[in-house]
Amino acid sequence: MSNMAPELTFTTLEEIDEIYTTLNKTFRSGKTKPIAFRKVQILQLGYLLQDNIERFREALAVDLGRPPLESSFLELDSTISDCKIAYDRVDKWARTEKAPFNIKFAAFRPAIRKEPKGVVLSISPFNYPVWLALGPIIGAIAAGNCVVLKPSELSPAISGLIAELIPKYLDNDVVRVVLGAVTETSKLMEYQWGHVLYTGSGRVAKLIGVAAAKTLSPISLELGGKSPVVIDPKCDFKIAARRILWGKCANAGQTCVAPDYVLVPRSSEDAFVKALKDAHDEFYPSGAITTPDISSIINPAHFHRLKKLLDSTAGTIAFGGQTDESRKFIAPTVVKGVKDEDSLMSEELFGPILPIMPVDDVDAAIAYINAHDHPLALYCFSPDAAFKNKVFDNTQSGSAIANDVMIHCATDGLPFGGIGPSGSGYHTRTFSFDMFTHLRASLDSPGWVDNIIGGRFPPYSPGKLASLKRFRVKLPPRPISANGHAL
């Protein structure tokens, strides 16, 4: 594959109309509901990746300058794994559930049907253009939906490859790709959807949310924010520094859950910065400038945004700071002595720049976190359970991770999602299935039940009221305050 990103041919507005009409017709036909059909499509998606894995690595190198190991570890292998998990578990996920037993309602045989929401839309970002594009499709297909994927125009090599391969591997009446930018996305948001998943920036999320509200389309948002790291001075600085620096440098820091900044006790700042420098020298023994192991910034606009933030900092660059516009390259950079009003603290960085903010103690760290938007992830490095609990119990974030970074996204059984400004809703694996599934309440009432609750029917009378009193619940004893009085 050429190192030049291909030019995408955008989907026409007329084609978008046809796609929406076709997928709605398919869904109404019931084609996607059999579990066997869903499993075939899920497995085909897995083979789409496996058969073309080298092409995907090459495309990721074109779009992001990403090293092959990172491409495999960060998203290709995990997306194939997600296909296998969904294939193995969709029978269980989709099974109708009996409601919890309650003697008063057992005769109605209450149940929860797991039903697809219909035709759903996923708008995916440039930074993880495989996992965040195909991962939600796995859940949507497993749930029995038809899917429109709108991948990012900022990663044209991957988006073009996905658009080429999906019609070859998946049912074209069930899954379709729309290529485009603002105009095409705006057109898509004119329709009513069974569900919309948007992954990207908070600024665009507000526009997507307003557009979805106009059609009453339910929506999930996976956004980001400034994910902090809280350092306990008693933690192993070597281990913490290696893991934090890896999370900040992987994919050139263009990860929504990358550690954005570090809160460290003032007395430990220099020691921790030294541990980061040691990790840097271990990772890049020949220097960051010439290593092939660092990705590129996605485009010139993001490069210049990051460079401007770095050039404006009042902190001290401990190491790094080199930039190369021709390669869209920014070296791993640690800036110490950063304060709240610094340029590096003004927005989510989304790049390989790590501000170190010294604080007086853990209480000051917690206060700083709580004074800002809830982050998508919060990291804490400590061997002390009480320290970790204090941080997690007194803050809010999408996830609360101790002694590592980022790997929770790929951990089977954990939801991935934000809270407040960092997002709403959850996905990955079973949670993707749940997001695209309607829980449909169901019961079947036998005729003889009217012998028991016939008092509900008019004409009402004191006798009927008395007959229904037996269904009232009895509350536990009233709470008593410390002084013995009722609350």
As a whole number of angstroms, the distance between CA 427 and CA 399 comes to: 13
pLDDT digits (tens, 9 = 90+) for 291-318: 999 999 999 999 999 999 999 999 999 9
420 neighbors 375 (Cβ within 8 angstroms): no
pLDDT digits (tens, 9 = 90+) for 364-417: 999 999 999 999 999 999 999 999 999 999 999 999 999 999 999 999 999 999
Q: Where are the beta strands (DSSP E) in 138-247?
A: 146-150, 175-177, 195-199, 219-222, 228-231
As a whole number of angstroms, the distance between CA 370 and CA 428 comes to: 27
The catalytic site residues sit at: 222, 256
Is the pLDDT score of 235 beyond 90?
yes
Is the pLDDT score of 260 beyond 80?
yes
> Phi/psi of residue 72, each to 5°?
-70, -50
Q: Which of 216, 278, 217 is nearest to 244 (CA)?
A: 278
Q: What's the pLDDT at 354?
A: 98
Q: How would you list the strands of the sheet with 119-123, edge to edge?
A: 175-177, 146-150, 119-123, 195-199, 219-222, 423-424
Q: What's the pLDDT at 297?
A: 98
Q: Where are the beta strands (DSSP E) in 270-328?
A: 316-319, 323-324
Instruction: Provide mean pLDDT across the span 278-288.
Output: 97
403: left (phi over 0), alpha (psi -120 to 50) or beta: left
Q: Which of 286, 292, 335, 285 is nearest to 314 (CA)?
A: 335
Q: What's the pLDDT at 266?
A: 97
As a whole number of angstroms, the distance between CA 370 and CA 130 comes to: 33
As a whole number of angstroms, the distance between CA 250 and CA 56 comes to: 18
142 neighbors 94 (Cβ within 8 angstroms): yes
Residue length of the chain: 487
Looking at this protein, which amino acid is placed at residue 253? G
As a whole number of angstroms, the distance between CA 146 and CA 158 comes to: 22
Q: What's the pLDDT at 481?
A: 79
Q: What's the pLDDT at 4?
A: 67
Task: Retrieve residue 73's tokens.
Answer: 């570890």
How do beta strands 219-222 and 423-424 pair? antiparallel
How many Cβ atoms from other residues are within 10 Å of residue 44's Cβ? Answer: 17
Is the pLDDT score of 145 beyond 90?
yes
Q: How distant, in Å, are the alpha carbons of 24, 132, 173 from that of 138?
A: 19, 10, 16
Instruction: Provide mean pLDDT across the span 57-77.
Output: 97
Find tokens 């400590």 and name the residue: 382
pLDDT digits (tens, 9 = 90+) for 170-196: 999 999 999 999 999 999 999 999 999
Q: What's the pLDDT at 348?
A: 97
Close Cβ partners of 164 (under 8 Å, ≥ 6 residues apart)? none
As a whole number of angstroms, the distance between CA 416 and CA 428 comes to: 6
Task: Retrieve residue 114's tokens.
Answer: 């797991």
- Report pTM: 0.95
Q: What is the mean pLDDT of the chain?
A: 96
As a whole number of angstroms, the distance between CA 187 and CA 446 comes to: 48
As a whole number of angstroms, the distance between CA 38 and CA 95 comes to: 14
Q: Which of 347, 348, 349, 368 is nearest to 357 (CA)?
A: 368
Is the pLDDT score of 485 beyond 80?
no
pLDDT digits (tens, 9 = 90+) for 345-375: 999 999 999 999 999 999 999 999 999 999 9
Q: What's the pLDDT at 470?
A: 87
Is the pLDDT score of 1 beyond 70?
no
pLDDT digits (tens, 9 = 90+) for 315-352: 999 999 999 999 999 999 999 999 999 999 999 999 99
As a whole number of angstroms, the distance between CA 370 and CA 390 comes to: 13
Instruction: Provide mean pLDDT across the span 215-237.
Output: 98
Q: What's the pLDDT at 6?
A: 74
Task: Retrieve residue 39's tokens.
Answer: 């499993």
Find tokens 């390989």 and name the residue: 352
Is the pLDDT score of 2 beyond 60?
no
- What 3-state DSSP class applies to 436? coil
Q: What DSSP letter does each residue of 406-424 carry, written as one string?
A: SGGGG-TT--B---GGGEE
Is the pLDDT score of 487 beyond 90?
no
How many Cβ atoms from other residues are within 10 Å of residue 119's Cβ? Answer: 28
